[in-house]
Structure 1
């Protein structure tokens, strides 16, 4: 719908939805970075999924039980406390109760004194849905800043295969 044709109420609803979706993104980061597994799982619909397409093979976690295992894994990685997930440049498209969201992401590692190194630079491609008035992730795709997103640059556009660091080997339970 054209912004000029929108009523004031429609514009306010659109803004309200945007703020709620941005809050969902912040709740996810705070839950992950503070080891709050229950809050992390609560960011997703019951059959929601995280797909980490960073290394040679993508990892998939679908449903609250697998997402709980993902959150517990990160809570127990010895060098994870001190990381902070930062999300910027949030773009939201779609209408109604389902939206597509993409955003820049980087992770800093605050282990000791500044300067804090950047541990990860990439982006999210999310699907969010409104359930009983609340926005939740139905899918969260995590990607490095390479591959198809850079296809407009000469010599870029192919995914670069990366080996997984040993401490981050995560495989969902197939059962």
Structure 2
């Protein structure tokens, strides 16, 4: 793979965006979460496809409320969910970029937890399939597809997902 001269800077900025996205979701900062998307960005995830920053803001808050009512720790509090992005492949072409990376989520509660003790559990996992755009000098998600390996119809592709990033293919599942 040949990288443009600005690749290291672009990659650092994109990785920072991804970290801010995950921290915002895990810490219920819905404004920051929504700001990681372009104004007309799309979030494609387990419960639907949402387009537009304001719609994403509202949906992220509603999603966290639903999760908080379903997953509880042993004391009856909403479980703490923490998401981790492991490895990422990023392709940059000018003001456009493509990304895929493996994510997983840990929590301290939920229906699978031993109710007699507090434990950290590996919850869900999958891959992200992203198209990003640089807007006013900042990288934003234009399209984020969250693939969940454990949900029928939401699994990742069967071939190496890096191939689609290298080709700049969107949508990743065609």
Instruction: Give the TM-score range, shorter chain.
Output: 0.7 to 0.9
CA shift in 2, pair 1:75/1:102, >3 Å = same
- Normalising to structure 2: TM-score of the pair? 0.72
Instruction: Give the length in aligned residue pairs.
Output: 140
CA shift in 2, pair 1:113/1:35, >3 Å = same
Off by >4 Å, runs of 4+ in structure 1: none
Mark the structure with the bigger radius of gyration: 1
Which whole-Å CA distance do the structure 2 matches of 1:2 and 1:113 have between them?
47
Which whole-Å CA distance do the structure 2 matches of 1:81 and 1:23 have between them?
26
Among 145, 158, 161, the residue aligned to 1:150:
158
Name stretches of at least 5 consecutive residues in structure 2 with no aligned partner: 72-77, 110-116, 161-174
Q: CA deviation at 1:110?
A: 2.7
State how 1:17-56 maps to structure 2 within 5 Å.
17-52=10-45, 54=46
Q: CA deviation at 1:151?
A: 4.7
Which whole-Å CA distance do the structure 2 matches of 1:64 and 1:82 have between them?
25
Which whole-Å CA distance do the structure 2 matches of 1:20 and 1:33 have between them?
20
Q: CA deviation at 1:64?
A: 1.4
- Normalising to structure 1: TM-score of the pair? 0.72
Name stretches of at least 5 consecutive residues in structure 1 with no aligned partner: 153-175
Partner of 1:84: 82
